[in-house]
Structure 1
């Protein structure tokens, strides 16, 4: 019997820090509609929702046409900033992220086996990884391509193909693609929407405090960590209870 596991990662606020571009692009979206942009904290509070829902939350009462135009203005600004600055500067990885991901896929380190062998249960001893994206496909493709992270993940899900968080569809699709039962999976994310999504999908919710929602908003998490370097030990602890 295989001991395969699944680790699901949110992207923005968990693996990469895009808040400068998020703030600038949301302000550009509001400016395009002649509206005053919300405060920084209010903008960051809705990170994790799909863009139409996020803008509707920040500008209640706007008509659908204006909302859709603001969504396009946001995307244009975000992509322009990404092209201008390049991915490593536009959406830098959080400290120690790459090192932890690479350590987890090192069989001699954390005993984790991800990506290529994930579809061969007889060859897998422990883990595989997949990311659940929080924005549109183009944004996440550029983030992962820019950081050369594609090879670490066996599945990519995004709100272009599913309902917005906290609906569990993205996690359910990842579980289906990897033939993984929910009790053998965890979700790592920085927002309340991530934790609610994980709970709704029946997977273990791990909140991180370095992202866009503070610890108080991560109350639905089963576990909370302050440093990604704590993840391997926490996973070992979780795996011991989900044999």
Structure 2
């Protein structure tokens, strides 16, 4: 196989959670008497670690207020908001099939560890991943630390790994780590924004991934001489 390790972003790549993230972010600001961010602004920071995201959305607030926003956001997202967060169609089958095919699988996400563990458990996908990293364990994307730690833990060279994500933060993280990047165009950031960073491709659905991987593998090429 061309790639040994596939590293997935979570929100906007495997799980359709943008609406709940935006609603929870706006509710957290409103609860604290602050003007809620507009939906496009809240969507734009999806993929960043919470500390980084709140700094982007509340640049004039001090550290104490930013910490309160994070606390209330987590309360709304994990407990108070009931906006559904389903997996994207085909995600479960793709992940389980790639694991069965022999790929190493990992997650690199802007979620917190508690949020990621909960999502892995509720989605039923947790058992398929060999390693995971969340934003409260490493530097936030687009810093390469998440990917570097996953490569080290799983013993994979950067040239044998592929990052799959829906935001420019995912693609920049891959670039910074020397890892190939594949975009998905159904998530948070617009296709033109992703394509400007020159990923290998931009998939219109997650269930297109196995076919893309097969086509990218030189050992499965129809042009190979028998």
Say whether the 8 Å CA contact 2:166–2:188 is kept in structure 1: yes
- Residue equivalent to 1:229: 207
Deviations 1:42-94 (A, max 9, x none): 11011011112111111221111111111111011111146xx5xxx732100
Shift of 1:32: 2.9
Say whether the 8 Å CA contact 1:162–1:169 is kept in structure 2: yes
Runs of 4 or more consecutive aligned structure 1 residues displaced over 6 Å after TM superposition: none
- Residue equivalent to 1:156: 132
Say whether the 8 Å CA contact 1:4–1:128 is kept in structure 2: no
Q: How does 1:48-197 map to 2 (within 5 A)?
A: 48-81=47-80, 85=82, 90-106=84-100, 112-113=101-102, 127-197=103-173
Say whether the 8 Å CA contact 1:91–1:143 is kept in structure 2: no
Say whether the 8 Å CA contact 1:136–1:158 is kept in structure 2: yes
CA distance in 2, matches of 1:36, 1:4: 45
3-state SS of paired residue (2:105): strand
Shift of 1:155: 0.1
- Residue equivalent to 1:28: 27
CA distance in 2, matches of 1:17, 1:77: 17
Q: TM-score if structure 1 supplies the norm length?
A: 0.84
Q: TM-score if structure 2 supplies the norm length?
A: 0.90
CA distance in 1, matches of 2:92, 2:111: 21
Say whether the 8 Å CA contact 1:21–1:78 is kept in structure 2: yes
Is 1:9 the equivalent of 2:8? yes
Q: Bigger CA drift: 163-172 or 34-43?
A: 34-43
Q: 1:81 to 1:33 in 2, by over 3 A?
A: closer
Say whether the 8 Å CA contact 1:195–1:207 is kept in structure 2: yes
Q: Which sections of structure 2, spanning at least 5 residues, go unmatched?
A: 220-226
Deviations 1:117-137 (A, max 9, x none): xxxxxxxxxx21111122100
- Residue equivalent to 1:42: 41
- Residue equivalent to 2:224: none
Taking only aligned residues, the RMSD between alpha carbons, in angstroms, comes to 1.8
